[in-house]
């Protein structure tokens, strides 16, 4: 069964239409990567799903229609969205960041989950009482992902997790994401500039140009497709 069904007829910001006729599905536990040049509309797809854009069409999580809901209710429905730039709460401590991630759950569950995530990532537990603004880029991205999993989401949206990270740290990050996805069975929708790594952990891929889907297929096929390689992998 599909975790997420996206049938966007048009979406954008006010009078500016960015996306036209964008349709895809992500199965439960599945992973889809959205590729495309800068300004193609990848981020807008994620923001439309989360209720941050004006849109016509339908976006469903399981049977639940998300379009028209305010962002906080989309989150409550089971979507965790790590925005571009990670969305860290810089004034809050690391532990508080995790607790905010669990805001949709009962307090006691959230506290227990925060402890588990800090056990899982000792680097976060070492800094649990310090403001999150003091973390390095890689640590902040780790925190953002732990924060997203705090809500035990059905679907995780990740917007350019590799942005600003060194190649080695990016690789580690995707290994961690791959593990977490497998352990929790959370479906993922990834937007990534670094197509090589992203295609490595995804099953399906969609290429967007100028707000429309131009190529879709299995991730491994796209990885071997010469046109895609030239256009998006910089080869």
Partner 1 sequence: MLLQQLADGVATGAVYGALALAIVLVYRASRTLNFAQGELALLGAYVSWQLTAWGLPIWAALLVATAALAALSAGVERVLVRPLVRRHQALPLIIVTLGLMIALNAIIGWVWTYQTKEVPALFGSGAVEIGGVAVSRQDVGIVLTVLVVAVALGVLFELTPVGLRMRAAISAPESAELSGISTGRTMTAGWAIAGAVGAVAGTLIAPELFLHPGMMTPVLIYAFAAATLGGLDSPPGALVGGIVVGVIENLAGSYLPHGSDFKQVVALAIIVVVLLVRPQGLLGRREVVRV
Nearer to partner 1, 186 or 225 (CB): 186
Q: Does residue 42 interact with partner 1 by CB under 8 A?
A: no
Query: Measured from the CB of residue 66, what is the shortest distance to partner 1 in angstroms?
Result: 13
Which token pair is 70? 């305010």
**Which range touches partner 1 (CB under 8 A), out of 35-43, 58-66, 91-99, 117-125?**
91-99
Size of the chain in residues: 235
Please identify which residue in 29, 57, 62, 87 interacts with partner 1, judged by CB under 8 A. Answer: 87
Angle between helices 137-149 and 107-120 (to 10 degrees): 140
Closest approach, Cβ 138 to partner 1, in A, equals 19
Which of 149/174 has CB closer to partner 1?
149
CB of 234 to partner 1, least distance (A): 27
Per CB under 8 A, 89 contacts partner 1: yes
Q: Can residue 99 be called a binding residue for partner 1 (CB under 8 A)?
A: yes
Q: Map residues 157-196 to x or -, x wherever contact with partner 1 holds by CB under 8 A.
A: ----------------------------------------
Q: How far is the CB of 203 from partner 1 (least distance, A)?
A: 25
Q: How far is the CB of 95 from partner 1 (least distance, A)?
A: 10
Residue 96 is a binding residue for partner 1 (CB under 8 A): yes
Cβ proximity of 3 and 26 under 8 Å: yes
User: Contact letters (x/-) for partner 1, 112-151, by CB under 8 A?
Assistant: -----------------------------------x---x
Per-residue 3-state assignment (H helix, E strand, C coil) for the chain: CEEEEEEEEEEEECCEEEEEEEEEEEECCCEEEEECCCCCCHHHHHHHHCCCCEEEEEEEECCEECCCCCHHHHHHHCEEEECCCCCCCCCCEHHHHHHHHCCCCCHHHHHHHHHHHHHHCHHHHHCCCCEHHHCCHHHHHHHHHHHHHCCCCCEEEEECCCCCCCHHHHHHHHHHHHHHHHHHCCEEEEECCCHHHHHHHCCEEEEEECCEEEEEEEHHHHHHCHHHHHHHCCC
Positions touching partner 1 (CB under 8 A) are 50, 52, 70-72, 75-76, 80-81, 83, 87-92, 96, 99-101, 103-104, 107, 147, 151
């Amino acid at each position: 069964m599909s975790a997420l069904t996206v049938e966007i007829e048009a979406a954008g910001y006010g009078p500016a239409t960015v996306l036209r006729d964008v349709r895809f599905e992500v199965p439960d536990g599945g992973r889809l990567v959205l590729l495309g040049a800068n300004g193609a509309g990848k981020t807008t797809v994620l923001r439309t799903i989360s209720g941050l854009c004006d849109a016509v069409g339908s976006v469903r999580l399981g049977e639940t229609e998300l379009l028209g809901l305010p962002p906080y209710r989309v989150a409550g429905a089971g979507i965790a969205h790590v925005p571009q730039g990670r969305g860290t709460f810089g004034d809050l401590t690391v532990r508080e960041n995790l607790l905010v991630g669990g805001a949709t759950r009962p307090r006691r569950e959230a506290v227990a989950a925060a402890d588990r995530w800090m056990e899982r990532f000792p680097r976060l537990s070492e800094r649990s009482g310090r403001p999150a603004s003091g973390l390095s880029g890689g640590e902040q991205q780790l925190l953002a992902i732990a924060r997203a999993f705090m809500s035990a989401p059905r679907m995780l949206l990740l917007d350019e997790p590799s942005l600003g990270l060194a190649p080695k740290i990016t690789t580690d990050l995707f290994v961690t994401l791959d593990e977490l996805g497998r352990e929790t069975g959370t479906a993922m929708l990834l937007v990534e500039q670094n197509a090589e790594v992203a295609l490595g952990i995804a099953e399906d891929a969609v290429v967007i140009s100028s707000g429309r889907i131009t190529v879709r297929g299995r991730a491994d096929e796209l990885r071997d497709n010469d046109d895609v390689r030239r256009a998006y992998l910089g080869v």
